[in-house]
Structure 1
Amino acid sequence: MTRGFLQELVNILLDYISKSSQRSSKVLDFHHPHQLREGMEGFSLDLPDQPETLEQILVDCRDTLKYGVRTGHPRFFNQLSSGLDVIGVAGEWLTSTANTNMFTYEVSPVFILMEDFLLRKMQSIVGWSDDEGDGIFCPGGTISNLYSILVARFYFYPEVKSRGMGVLPQLALFTSEHSHYSVKKSAAVLGMGSENVVVVKCDERGKMIPAELESAIVAAEEKGLVPFYVNVTAGTTVYGAFDPLNAIADICQRHTLWMHVDAAWGGGLLMSERHRMKLQGIERAWSVTWNPHKMMGVPLQCSAILVKKRGLLQGCNELGAEYLFQTDKPYDVSYDTGDKSIQCGRHVDVFKLWLMWKAKGSEGFGSQVNKCLENAEYLYDQLQRRTDFELVFKNKPEHSNVCFWYIPPSLRDLPPGHDRDIRLHKVAPRIKGRMMEKGTVLIGYQPFGAKVNFFRCVFSNPATQQEDIDFLLDEITRMGDDL
């Protein structure tokens, strides 16, 4: 079935390439935004709950190309992303075949509308109403988090856009000690300084402690800093922990602070009826990072920044370049969304997610998430039963992250302490080196705080079965038994 589908897709691409080189074919089969939104001859941009058939997916692919701009046509003289190279097509298939750029509707009509449909769907899943919410797809969670700080600063101090940092007080940001490093990196890039990112203590499970956040805000104000932004993590990188969103939202509300939820890793759980309660309170966020290229399995890159206050992204980033964003075009220019971005050229990352949503439906994504978390629970249960492994923390995993040590026979009788830690710290790197040489399995390791190197197993591939997890543990044992 898969082979037949891919062969038919190749035929669609070859037909498109052939027609793109024919001067008798159209450069563009133009339709206004409202016409494409409402559907054209069976082509619908709506995102279903139930999966479509493979036959319909092929129709979706044909229609995506049909209603798009043929930038490889020899009479396409518009904006710069043009031409059609066969090797490039082999590299990225359909999106490279279309080879368009997502800054204006005139060169990317279908993909611009796909982005709009996807963003509205994701905002609805977060819990925002139809009359609020904005967003844009961007290259990765780090850039999404940067957008959140950029827009938050503009919201409180719009003069910074034209007059620069010199007109602002010394701003303070808050994030947990288990949060992603991109928060500090963004503060450095945006000129606020990584030292003005206040790191808030977490509990043993890796969740931000609300009382510690409140104390940190008061302490920052006493030092003369001006708090304005709190990053809340939904699915931490190492432990997969979810900060208490509602309790932190209460604090942000009391202090009038921008609340951002970094759900780059944990956002996928919103697709699962079984697990979405772990993000309860996310609807109170002012912005959200969500990476479909993580738990939802979309190929890299596919990340979204969602902003609750409509118009802020545009106001913060627009410069109105006249060669791109003319206001007297023959269509609704509100669909020229490129000026919301800090980029100019933007890849059509939305198509991958849109087509996968068509193929899986919302329920398919939910089942995929459930399967990955079931695998994490299975690994957790196996580790508890075995004497040659030790969990980094005893709690059942919230996400699909499972952290553990392998204890070789030579260390099992050593008492806890400095000598054991020094020896144990060397175990995971040695096993990882043997894994890479043998090539049968691969898993990451790392230290964290006072904890020496441990394995961090993350499940995001629904193809993984329990037999693969059993193999992982047995292979670690085989490779580490003599250490």
Structure 2
Amino acid sequence: MFGPQVAVGQTQDTGLLLEAFDVQLFRQSSETTVAKLGKHLADLSIRGLNLTEPSVLTRAARALMTREKEHIAGYDEEKLAAIIDLYVSTGIQVHSPGYMGRQFSGTVPLAGVIDFVSSVVNQPSSFYEAGQLPNVVERIMADELNQFIGWDPDRFSMITTSGGSLANLTAILAARNDRLPGFWLEGGAAYRGRALPAIAVGDDVHYSVSRTAGITGIGEHQIVRLPLNRRQQIDTARVAPVLDTAERRGLKVFCLVASAGTTSVGAFDPIDDLAGLAAERGIWLHVDGAHGASLLVSDKLRRRLRGIEKADSLTWDAHKMMFTPAPCTLLFYRDKEKGLNAFKQRASYVFDEDPDVFTALDSGGKTIECTKRPMIMPLWALWAMYGRALFAEKIEYLCALARSAHRMLLAEPDFETAHYPESNILCFRYRPGELSREETHRLQVAVRDRVKHRGNFFISKVDIDGVAALRVVLMNHLITHEHFRMLLTEIRTVGRDVYQRAVKGQG
């Protein structure tokens, strides 16, 4: 038995309470956990998603729960090992070459170690006094990454948020309050009888922006959809006419949201051109670079974001292409003073009346989150230990692999590509014969589902121009050309069966 012995006057429960916090027990449980995770990381087998019925998983999870109702249960190492096994085996296998389905990243293992430290020391980072190092390194990483954005080092700012959706919401709040200064206090009533506030977005924008329109009181009907070109980018030649039409409808577009790496296909909107249009009309330009902003750290790929220095704000997810634990999102503002406009509340229990050198680093007044994980720590530790090249080399490899996979598909007569990959996202369709749009759509959905349930590969799907396409997101540097070829073989195997049974009505 680990932990202190129960002293005179103490109850058995008191002893077990102390045991739960015992340092020696902490070491033992940590060693058990590290051994399990080490085995998990060493498993290079090709595996997708082991999808378990919720009722089955619920029973398995409940079976691991103590039946003790009145007293503290003792530590059970076998139970801990079983909990870890169940956790690891039932999730997406982000470190396997068979995982090609989502933008969640296989993390650099050291990043997980630092995240483990964050959980143990538990230093929320919204205020300097609670998390001193996280707040300092947040400023350090802001300076490091701004080298690739190019803003005035004395005027820009960066804060971390729990996810890209929250960052987009925060940036659009800042834009709304800057361009529509009466909205924060008076709401929509401040603009009654005047042009209605509106947001312009690419037609393939992330759904979080549509949510933001509702949350901020702008309204989804005041979203102006900008048409896309054949590369799934905002078509700059048609933006001005659409904005003119919106103005004639009584809308005042105060923010234009461009994408740097759309979720659907990884497309990059022409930021430079859009920045010029936005500046001419006094519109705030926000770039949702949740996926693709990481290409900035690569000398070879940075040109995808040409003109980013002209944007007003930028969302950048480090938990995607910077390979750190989720969530870790960076929200940049070109003008730090305008970034302060997102929120205006004061609260005596957290905000100091007399700001000083310490409170200058507080971010609690700049984000929705009052209690925020020190999410910057894993990213900073990797940057401090390995430098930029670790990220650049992996990103360059994955983007090159996507282009190579695209060439591979062009040589396969029963496959068609849906776009040219600008990043590490590639969408394509399996078409073994002459099919209508509806048949093509149904076939892709059925193939994706069948591949997922077979458990060898995990891929996703997306609708492009109203027709489903198979979608792979290459997030693992262990994936090779051969793995992608194996995926195509699997798709072809299940696709032929689905085609004959579902489309042709045979069998």
What's the TM-score once normalised by structure 2's chain length?
0.73
Give the 3-state SS of the residue equivalent to 1:164 in structure 2.
helix
Gapped runs of 5+ residues in structure 1? 1-15, 22-84
CA distance in 2, matches of 1:253, 1:472: 46
CA distance in 2, matches of 1:399, 1:330: 43
One-letter amino acid matched to 1:481:
R
CA distance in 2, matches of 1:260, 1:480: 41
Out of 211, 214, 228, the position equivalent to 2:254 is 228
CA distance in 2, matches of 1:334, 1:353: 22
| Deviation of 1:306 (Å) | 0.7
Give the 3-state SS of the residue equivalent to 1:339 in structure 2.
coil
What's the counterpart of residue 69 of structure 2? none
1:97 matched to 2:120? The reply is yes
One-letter amino acid matched to 1:301:
P
| Deviation of 1:328 (Å) | 4.7
Out of 239, 244, 258, the position equivalent to 2:265 is 239
Task: Name the structure, 1 or 2, with higher relative contact order (CA <8 Å, separation 6+).
Answer: 2
125-134 or 186-195, larger mean C-alpha shift:
125-134
Q: Structure 1, residues 100-156: CA drift from partner, whole Å, max 9, x if none? A: 211211111011111111122222321112111112111111111111110011112
What's the counterpart of residue 101 of structure 2? none
| Deviation of 1:392 (Å) | 1.7
Q: Structure 1, residues 9-29: CA drift from partner, whole Å, max 9, x if none? A: xxxxxxx9849x9xxxxxxxx
Out of 215, 230, 240, the position equivalent to 1:214 is 240
- Using a 3 Å threshold, how does the CA distance of structure 1 residues 323 and 193 change in structure 2: closer, same or farther? same
Out of 480, 497, 504, the position equivalent to 1:465 is 480
What's the counterpart of residue 431 of structure 2? 407
Out of 404, 422, 430, the position equivalent to 1:398 is 422
| Deviation of 1:331 (Å) | 5.4
| Deviation of 1:439 (Å) | 0.8
What's the counterpart of residue 421 of structure 1? 437
- Using a 3 Å threshold, how does the CA distance of structure 1 residues 101 and 254 change in structure 2: closer, same or farther? same
326-335 or 117-126, larger mean C-alpha shift:
326-335
One-letter amino acid matched to 1:268:
S
What's the counterpart of residue 149 of structure 2? 126
**Contact 1:296–1:460 (8 Å) recurs in 2:** no
- Using a 3 Å threshold, how does the CA distance of structure 1 residues 331 and 207 change in structure 2: closer, same or farther? closer
Question: Which residues in structure 2 correspond to 1:39-54 (within 5 Å)?
Answer: none
**Contact 2:126–2:372 (8 Å) recurs in 1:** yes
One-letter amino acid matched to 1:106:
E
One-letter amino acid matched to 1:323:
Y
**Contact 1:178–1:236 (8 Å) recurs in 2:** yes
1:446 matched to 2:446? The reply is no
**Contact 2:402–2:426 (8 Å) recurs in 1:** yes
1:309 matched to 2:325? The reply is no
CA distance in 2, matches of 1:242, 1:127: 18
Question: Which residues in structure 2 correspond to 1:91-240 (within 5 Å)?
Answer: 93-168=116-191, 169=194, 170-240=196-266
Out of 258, 262, 267, the position equivalent to 2:284 is 258
**Contact 2:260–2:305 (8 Å) recurs in 1:** yes
| Deviation of 1:329 (Å) | 7.8
| Deviation of 1:336 (Å) | 2.3
One-letter amino acid matched to 2:238:
E
CA distance in 2, matches of 1:274, 1:260: 24
Query: Percent of aligned pairs with the same residue?
Result: 28
Question: Which residues in structure 2 correspond to 1:285-304 (within 5 Å)?
Answer: 285-304=311-330
What's the TM-score once normalised by structure 1's chain length?
0.77
Give the 3-state SS of the residue equivalent to 2:428 in structure 1.
strand
Give the 3-state SS of the residue equivalent to 1:226 in structure 2.
strand
What's the counterpart of residue 11 of structure 1? none
Cα RMSD, aligned residues only: 2.6
**Contact 1:313–1:341 (8 Å) recurs in 2:** no
CA distance in 2, matches of 1:389, 1:266: 26
CA distance in 1, matches of 2:447, 2:187: 51
**Contact 2:260–2:291 (8 Å) recurs in 1:** yes
One-letter amino acid matched to 2:232:
G
Give the 3-state SS of the residue equivalent to 2:423 in structure 1.
coil
One-letter amino acid matched to 1:234:
A
CA distance in 1, matches of 2:22, 2:337: 38
CA distance in 2, matches of 1:329, 1:287: 25
One-letter amino acid matched to 1:326:
D
| Deviation of 1:216 (Å) | 1.6
Out of 465, 473, 476, the position equivalent to 2:491 is 476
| Deviation of 1:311 (Å) | 2.4
One-letter amino acid matched to 2:313:
S
CA distance in 1, matches of 2:284, 2:415: 42
CA distance in 1, matches of 2:397, 2:376: 24
